[in-house]
Structure 1
Amino acid sequence: MSAVAAGARKVLPYVGIAAVVLYCLAPFYWMIVSAFRRPQDQFDNSIVPVRWSLENFAAVFGGGNGFGRALVNSFVVAGITTVLTLVVGVFTAYALARLTFPFKNAVLGIIIGTTMFPGISQLIPLLELFTDIGWINTYQAMILPSLGFALPLTVWLLTAFFRQLPFELEQAAMVDGCTRGQAFRKVVVPLAAPGVFTTAILTFIAAWNEFIIALSVVNKKEMQTATVAISKFTGVSGFDQPFGTQMAAGVIVTVPLVVVVLIFQRRIVAGLTAGGVK
């Protein structure tokens, strides 16, 4: 093999990685650049803004957009959804991983099979149900559907994770005097922390970015989430498209999630790959 071919084989993987990274980050970079342009420069196609400005960020929280309240609503919905998903998912996954009962694999298959139904197909029944019971414009109308979408994947991931944990660890704890519940709380849960943490991050991100359900079951401005609020931004005249303001709001909504993933990326990877035996 020639030296040129050998050098090409070493370089090509890095070129491929760089191309993928560029492809993934280019839209995010353009969003950030557009957010820092002046409103009158929004259709300027320069790679770097001619003049940097914070006017779009100021407009996000001004003009009666109610974006601050929308952020709070998103945090409440995503936070409660994540907590409920973990509480229900951890116990369900542990039961499926440890207990023996008829049709256990079929139950697990049905649980993961529910994720294959498109969310839009459930929208009309949910809207009719929530209208009948008076849940329109409430947090629970946004939380329960998000819980239904997130829980099957949580159960699937945690069941596979719990199955990797040796049952002998719990038996040893019970030999030392722990009850089954204490062994679960003091031994299994700490060992499963990487998987639980990973599931929590994925669930929070999915609930934070949810749009269709929140748009359909909420029509009061003070109850809408951040994603819905961004879609309803209007310009100065009320009819023009505020691209800069939407880009700035997108940065505000996206950056915290990116920062969290970057900070905890090692634990996320560990949760997806680690077992109970180190």
Structure 2
Amino acid sequence: MKKKIKIGKIFGLIFAVLFVAILVFPFYWQLISSFKDPEDLMMMPTEIWPSRFSLDFFKNVFSVHHFDTFLKNSIIVSGFSMLFSILVALPAAYAFTRIRFSGYKFWKNFMLLANMFPIIAVVTPLFVVFKKLHLVNTYAGLIIPTIVITLPLSIWTLVAFLGQIPYDLEQAAQIDGCTRLQAVCKVILPLMTPGLFSTAIIAFITAWNELMFSLVFVTKNEWRTVPVGITLFVGEFTVPWGDMAAASICATVPIVIVVLICQKQIVAGLTAGAVKG
């Protein structure tokens, strides 16, 4: 019996290692490709570990493709979309969990359906409206539609977390003389820190990876975001694989660092609605 258990653990460990390797390998390949010497990038057979390291691709990304502009635009759009989503999602989640108003179930389900609606179906009418309002090639024209994606997701995440905080805590604070707003600010918000962290990061990453709106509502390079900017690297007859690898690393590493730093808050927020009691 013990031998069977040990064999099962060994197979489980092997499967876990293979699974992680499959997930990590594409990122590893992008990483080493971005540091390869341009002459070695297309060498066959290819190198698993570069024999010569070079920063030429990273220099090209910022000097030739002006990737710093794309990064700036993505940070602005993602940051404002995240902040607005949190500011609106917090009172909305509180209303869904603490107040039973008319049409409660309809609006709660509507939030979920809004997030499942295909983006491609609304791109054309939105573009016509934005063009008449002179919002094309503006930050507002990118932030407003991005919020449509991040807001329902933020509300649902905060609803799951806020639903686990006992209402008795608010009532006790109100009995002690606090108003409802004071009870929320002094009691609920400190307890919601993990949920707010995870929701903010999820909203930021969702906005950062958004492609369709940035592709349609922007026609000038100075307003492009990172996902669209990387697609512009491709020439008519060439594909600069090294430049694209370096750009993807520049776009991914900041997100990975933030997630690693805040991983405890993210896990706590995401698992808040999974356990009762």
Counterpart selection for 1:240 from 218, 231, 238? 238
The one-letter code matched in structure 2 to 1:28 is: F
Deviation at 1:95, TM superposition (A): 0.6
Contact 1:82 1:204 in 2 (8 A): yes
- SS across alignment from 2:63: coil
Contact 1:165 1:277 in 2 (8 A): no
Per the alignment, in what secondary structure is the counterpart of residue 218 of structure 1? coil
Q: Distance in 2 between matches of 1:273 and 1:204?
A: 19
The farther-off stretch of 19-28 and 225-234 is 225-234
Q: Is 1:35–1:247's contact at 8 Å kept on the other side of the alignment?
A: yes
Kept in 1: contact 2:160–2:272 (CA 8 A): no
How far off is 1:196 after superposition? 1.1
Offset at 1:23?
A: 1.1
Q: TM-score, normalised by structure 2?
A: 0.94
Alpha-carbon separation, structure 2, partners of 1:213 and 1:28: 26
Once the two structures are superposed, the pairs formed by residues 1-278 of structure 1 within 5 Å of their partners are 1=1, 3=3, 5-44=4-43, 45-63=46-64, 65-234=65-234, 239-274=237-272
User: Could you report, residue by residue, the CA deviation over 1:135-164 in whole angstroms, capped at 9, with x for unpaired residues?
Assistant: 100011111111001111111121122121
Which one-letter code corresponds to 1:88 in the other structure? Answer: V
CA distance in 2, matches of 1:196, 1:89: 10
Q: CA deviation at 1:61?
A: 0.7
Any unmatched runs of 5+ in structure 1? Answer: none
| Structure 2: distance between partners of 1:118 and 1:16 | 35
1:76-103: CA deviation from partner (whole Å, max 9, x where unpaired): 0000000000000001010111011122
Identity %: 41
How far did 1:67 drift?
1.1
Whole-Å Cα distance in 2 between the matches of residues 92 and 75 of structure 1?
A: 25
Helix, strand or coil: the match of 1:40?
Answer: coil
Q: CA deviation at 1:277?
A: 9.7
Once residues 168 and 210 of structure 1 are traced to their aligned partners in structure 2, the CA distance between those partners, rounded to angstroms, is 40
Q: d(CA) in 1 for partners of 2:241 and 2:271?
A: 40
2 and 159 in structure 1: CA distance in 2 versus 1, 3 angstrom threshold: closer
The answer to whether the Cα contact below 8 Å between 1:66 and 1:222 also exists between their aligned partners in 2 is no
Shift of 1:2: 6.4
TM-score, length basis structure 1: 0.94
Q: Distance in 2 between matches of 1:2 and 1:171?
A: 54
2 CA distance for matches of 1:6 and 1:174? Answer: 55
Alpha-carbon offset, residue 40 of structure 1: 2.1
Per-residue deviation, 1:234:
5.0
- Aligned residue for 1:137, secondary structure, equals coil
Report the alpha carbon displacement of residue 259 of structure 1 after superposing the two structures with TM: 1.1
RMSD of aligned alpha carbons: 1.8
AA matched with 1:212: M
- Paired with 2:2 and 2:229, the residues of 1 have a C-alpha distance of 59
SS in 1 for 2:51: coil
Q: 1:183 to 1:14 in 2, by over 3 A?
A: same
Moved more, 212-221 or 83-92: 212-221
